[in-house]
Amino acid sequence: MKGTALLMNEDMTLTVLENVDVSVYKELKNEKKYDQPHCTINNKEVEFEPIHSVVWCKEDIDLDYGY
């Protein structure tokens, strides 16, 4: 299943991972610490800035709409 993972960064910004498999979300959600979260996207290891939380959205988000 594909969807959007929203990473709430510690600096109060948002990282949006669109059209990713739910396994990406689960991998980030299962991290013991959010200090250096990482996951595998398209067979590549990707590391992010520290995050506060991660949220899964099944549907696309229209960022131009102004959510």
Average pLDDT over residues 1-24: 91
pLDDT in tens, 17-60: 988 999 999 999 888 766 788 889 989 999 998 888 899 998 76
In which band, very low, low, confident or very high, does the pLDDT at 1 lie, cut at 50, 70 and 90? confident
pTM over 0.85: no
- Please name every residue paired with 47 in a beta bridge, in sequence order, or none if there are none: 38
Closest C-alpha among 23, 32, 66, 67 to residue 51: 32
- Residue 36 CB-half CA count within 13 A: 2
